[in-house]
Structure 1
Amino acid sequence: MKRSEKILANRKRLNLSQEELSEKLNVSRQAVSKWESDQANPDIDKIIAMAQLFGISVDELVSENYEPRASQPVQERIEVKPMPVVVKSRKEKSWMILSGLIVFALFLFYIVGRYEARLSYLENQLNGLNMSIGRIQSDVQLSVSGLIQQLRDELVYQNGIIAEYSVKKTTIDLEEEKVTYSVSFLLKKTDQLYDVGITISNSEGYNQNLELKKDAGGYFKAEFDYPMNQTDFKVNVNLEKDGVVETQSLGSYSGYGHLLHQTVFADPTSYTYDSMGNEKKDQLTLMNGMWVGFNGYYPQGQNLNQLKYALRIYEEGKTTPALTLMFDFNDQDCINEQELGICYSDVGRLVEFDDFKLDFDVGDVITFTLSKNDGNILTDEKTVYTLTRVSQSEVRDERIEYTE
């Protein structure tokens, strides 16, 4: 039995999914899938970890011809006979020496193999340590940069023209695709007359001058609508007197250029092609199911399990799908912008089906599509994944994001 088949068999024996095994081994689910489909080999440390997890020896896991040793029967009586003195010939002695050298060479190979495996393990540990050090350095740099920015902001405030300010989102209108903000600020220099203005701008050329109103407490206030399809923006206050203009920023704020987009993608958990032992040679075998992911924003009143989809798989040149699967996503709690009626989710799920086969000759393309499912009426079908048989030994796969 091949190593890949042993991994698959032992995983199923323990009733573990590919996702659960990948979590125990601290690898990706795709890595486990490639091991089981014989598209990649696990590192030695992962082989050792799997052997311990499966309760078998490393040799049993990696050796295709492994056979456990039969236990020796226990003899009830041991008869001791005198050893005859045998005078070995020169030829027999030479064979003994040669056999000893062979055994010694095999032992050396074993020691070298163990050493190389240990060295590879230590190298992986060192690489992991270097990555951890890099992350720590990056975190320190970000912290230092943040402190420097805070000091700069404090200096700007101490030397600036604004005593206090606020910029807040008040409403989000999904139908009009706009966000309404309110701005309020108080000047330090209240003993002089200035022409006061405020502008909204971004790096894409968007620019808007706001109309200001001053309340009884001396606060300048304004409201403005910002399109959701625009990127991050800046708010600047301008004071002009005798042709001299002073400007102070009220900060930069995140736009919602991606707010209305919902992206769904799909990947086969595993597949094989050109299977030699089957009744038909040129076939594609899809295994276990499809991994489908979702990320994006949606109205707070709409749960994710209300977003229903259909996954369809087409053979080359056919308009009728070889497989159609209906699914939805599990409900998720809002984790972003809940106070303004907007939810964000970034989740995935496995759409399961039994393994099945498709004709897959050189030049063929297997297409995976997603459609909206509105009361069992499928609409807005889009291609999200393709498998192309380039040659007898190569298949090209390509994922395409389904974005609304």
Structure 2
Amino acid sequence: MTLGQRIQEHRLRLELSQEALGERLGVSRQAVSKWEADAAVPDTDKLIALSKLFGLTLNELLQVEGPEGTSTSGQEMGCGPNESRGSAGAGRSPRKNRARWLLGALTAMCLVLAVGLVWTEVRLTALEERVVQQMVMQDTLDPADLVGGWELSLPDSDVQMYSPEIGYTQNVGVTVALSRREQDRDWEIFFQVYGSDTAARRVETQADAGAGGVYSAQVPVVLGADETIAVGFCIDGVEYLQPLVRITGLSDHSMTYEDLLEQK
């Protein structure tokens, strides 16, 4: 069973739709669909969230099955010494040469297969170690603690943009001020907007040169949709999302919304 099949199996066990699972993880329904079709692999933080939601250990969620029949492939393909003795018993020289050539080819195939299995196990072990390290990191870091304050600004114009994928959007100004930042760690700050019926979009931020730790961006929000705006932190390769606000209504120079993080 593939990782995508396991995700689908446990989602159905919890009686969740793809949309409902995506809302719990802060991703779109399309992302969940790609995971289950094995067209994409969840990020490490999403794997952690999935294992917690499903009540599984990471080993149970990430189990990898080797190719069928690998445990007996050496015997089936004649990689053992008995095959060599059988070939050596052939009568004429051309048959001996052919047998030796086949034996060498089969031995090479066995070696490639063995190396592939070892490489798969090494990659899985490395992934598990990385996930465990990031679990420890996530247990000690709450992204809400990184937000010192935030604010929205109304659309400064009635200009609307159109995209075939999501429809008409209008920009909303978002500004966030960090409460702290460790200078010795690799940081990236971004905004992400998503909804139950719209794909998640990532928006790069601009740092305020006059005020340290202040970042802002014009975030495109789909007109007529119920969308959430979150601030994202990518710290040492680990992503954290903190929802800020849910936009419940948007039109020219007017906006209604619900705070998801208290403004400080």
TM-score, normalised with respect to structure 2: 0.33
Relative CO higher for 1 or 2, CA cutoff 8 Å, sep ≥ 6?
2
Q: Answer 1 or 2: which has greater helix percent.
A: 2
TM-score, normalised with respect to structure 1: 0.24
